[in-house]
Amino acid sequence: MRKIAYIDNFSEWEQSFNFSITFTVRFSETDAFGHLNNTVPFTYFEDARVAMLTAIDYEIDANSQLLPVVADIQCDFIKQVFFKETITLYTKINTIGNTSFEIHYMAKNEQREICFVGRGAIVQINKKTGRPHQLDAALIKRLNTLK
- Say if residues 23 and 82 touch (Cβ distance below 8 Å): no
The residue within the footprint of a copy of itself, chosen from 77, 96, 102, 142 (CB under 8 A), is 77
Question: Residues 44 to 73: which contact a copy of itself by CB under 8 A?
Answer: 46-47, 50, 54, 60, 62, 67, 69-73
Is residue 7 near a copy of itself by the rule CB under 8 A?
A: no
Question: Residues 93 to 132: which contact a copy of itself by CB under 8 A?
Answer: 130
Nearer to a copy of itself by C-beta: 9 or 34? 34
Nearer to a copy of itself by C-beta: 41 or 93? 41
Identify which range of 80-88, 91-99, 104-112, 133-141 contacts a copy of itself by CB under 8 A. Answer: 80-88
The residue within the footprint of a copy of itself, chosen from 37, 88, 94, 99 (CB under 8 A), is 37
Spell out the alpha helix ranges (H) of 5-146.
10-14, 40-55, 137-144
Given CA atoms 60, 64, 66, 69 in this order, what sign does their dihedral have?
Answer: positive
Angle at 106 between CA 123 and CA 45, to 5 degrees: 45
Q: Which amino acid is at 33?
A: F
Cα separation of 81 and 64, whole Å? 36
According to DSSP, the residues that pair with 119 across neighbouring strands are 74, 104
Residues that bind a copy of itself (CB under 8 A): 26-28, 30-35, 37-39, 42-43, 46-47, 50, 54, 60, 62, 67, 69-77, 80, 83-84, 130
